[in-house]
Structure 1
Amino acid sequence: MFFLLFALLIGIGVPVQTAVNSRLRSYVLSPFVASLISFTVGMTFLGIATLLTKGTLLFPASLVTEEPAWLWIGGLLGVIGLTGNILLFPKLGGVQTVLLPIMGQIIASMLIDTFGLFNSLQQPFTLMRGVGVLILVVGLICIVVLPDVLNRRKRGMPAETQGSKLPFQLFGILAGMMMATQAPINGHLGSVLHSPIHAAFISFTVGMIILLLIVTLGLRKLPNVKLAFGQGRPWWILTGGLIGSIFVLGMATLVPIVGTGLVVIVGLFGQILCSMMIDQFGLLGAKKTSVTGIQLLGILLMIIGVILIEVF
């Protein structure tokens, strides 16, 4: 139960990180520059934590010569997941930008658990776990999709009729799958290094290097970093990386213990719960939006789904 509560808490931090990084983006004028700053802050925090716990940032040569190459892609997957939502929002709108990556995370986490991919804890996909996943999906639809549909009907607004969104929708699902895949990769890396903190540091370092190359060589927007500092910039816009590092560290710690699927799903529940609280009370500058009865039903369904997945 303690591990599930921990997963819930780190999930709660994700919407806060999204809100913070969105505010940061408004100052630096680029999602990639905002991600670069976020990854750099997280890497610095994790580097200090690694030095305090292990006394070194170095890793054994066997990590390169004997371990699988996929150990190094956790940071790349994190970059895609972090910037994906910002890039998709103008194309898909808020509802699909939230729902599709979550669907991707659920799909990937179940596949990883069922087949024991990336040396993760294998858990057979039973009939009851399948029912639990279906109930989770229905709960997500109640929370994310139905309120928007009902609101449009109430106001007599037509459905969105933009051009083909299929490529962006597929990318949204793929981005979610990559975020879920990052968890067992960093979890295995933490087991090899005997330190999930060190594993999270390496993941953030890889992500930071990738973003630095994109911002410097691809976009040539490195000078935009200075726009995050100065008069009128709240100090908390730099805390997104700290929150993100705690999330990655928590996932790397929990996945080897309880499995990818359950950690991802409980974390998603925390994300949705926190997002609804932000809307309900207008926190972090968000527009105040009351939680509806259909969303409360969705939360109940998600709880039932998590119980079925955990017990069966």
Structure 2
Amino acid sequence: MRTIDWVDGAVEIIDQTVLPAEERVLRLHTVGELIAAIQSLAVRGAPALGVAGAFGVALAARIHADDPVALDRAVRRIESARPTAVNLARGARRTAARLPLGPDAVLAAACAIRDEEIAASTSMAYRGADLVVELCGPRPTMLTHCNTGGLCAVTVGTALGVLGELHRREQLAGVIASETRPLLQGARLTSWELGRWGVPYRVAVDSAGPFLMARGEVGGVILGADRICANGDVINKIGTYAHALGARRAGIPFIVVAPESTVDTDTPAGVHVEIEDRGSAEVTGWSEAVNPAFDVTPYDLVTAIVTDRRVIRLDRGEKL
């Protein structure tokens, strides 16, 4: 089952806002509908957002084929729909470069991005599984944060794809899924995917992760990224930094799994990344709230970064 795809002239997505209670497929026919789906997190996850950006430009190329001003405006709206993950704007810009060749060429480029992300997920699963066994030993219990399965990456996933591969190899004792506030992507989405795969898991409240590590219940931390800066700083769902600090204190590996499309060598460090704030309404109805969607984990807290092409051991001083 694909998180996002092009089907009969429209973009189809799995609506992640209603899982696990309901499995609903949305058909998006306009750029406005796609942007609304991105901003509401009906589609989310860096690789899937890259595909969404690409398909959004394909929609725009058909709708505004005779209006270059409206077409340019639509592309810029897609690029900026969410600011933190690099894949969204990158996917939109890559397909927009094909606009002079016509709508069919744009759609072909968008489908190529989709296929590349699918292939990348499979490659990351194999590379990451080998690394986890090397660093964490046979059959560890791994803690993961947010959602990094097929829901974030068309199919298979990034970090969760690694855990699925370990389970297939019978080299995984179980998973602790951090609930991931404020929208509970871990409790709702990761648990749903792990359950479908038959992987033993428990959901942990967000603040429990470092304590569980200190108590020896976690063999390693594995999660994804929405952007990896040139120096190795990792931008990921809020709470990632706390898990990295807990892993360092407990002396266990902290592994980041993300495709090369998430590596942003044009951004020197995390301090230069705009961190999206989701607003108070997602958290509370009676006071103002601080609700950053992401945080920055400094590179020196990261053991290794796994992409679809390579493993970078930051703990050994290797560079991106």
- TM-score, normalising length: structure 2: 0.23
Q: Which has the higher strand share?
A: 2
- TM-score, normalising length: structure 1: 0.24
Q: Which has the higher contact order (CA 8 A, sep 6+)?
A: 1
Q: Which has the higher helix share?
A: 1
